[in-house]
Amino acid sequence: MKYARFVLNRRNVQSQLLNNSKILDNVERQCVAAAGGDDRIGVYRNPPGVTDRGNVVVTAPMGLEQRHGTLSRILGSVKL
């Protein structure tokens, strides 16, 4: 069996994926929906131009995560 090797151009990945507003909008929308309106769960996103890459961050209190696996559940529900 032969293995495939992928070499990613960091600059292209950064500009085409990590700063792609359509992808970030989609991920943010899915995270908010998965949070289900629970005000204990925060969904945050870097404003455009603040860093060299965009991200979506979801936070939840440790007790909520331990009891319900909230962050794991949200992570498992997001589709790109």
At 13, list the tokens: 């990945």
Q: What is the mean pLDDT of the chain?
A: 81
Q: How much is the average pLDDT of 5-34?
A: 80
Closest C-alpha among 8, 18, 13, 10 to residue 50? 18
Please give the pLDDT value at position 19: 77
Task: Inform me whether the pLDDT recorded for 52 exceeds 80.
Answer: no
Closest C-alpha among 27, 33, 29, 40 to residue 67? 40
SS3 45: strand
**pTM of the predicted model as reported, rounded to 2 decimal places:** 0.71
Please give the pLDDT value at position 5: 66
Closest C-alpha among 64, 6, 1, 8 to residue 36? 64
Please give the pLDDT value at position 40: 92
Task: Inform me whether the pLDDT recorded for 42 exceeds 90.
Answer: yes
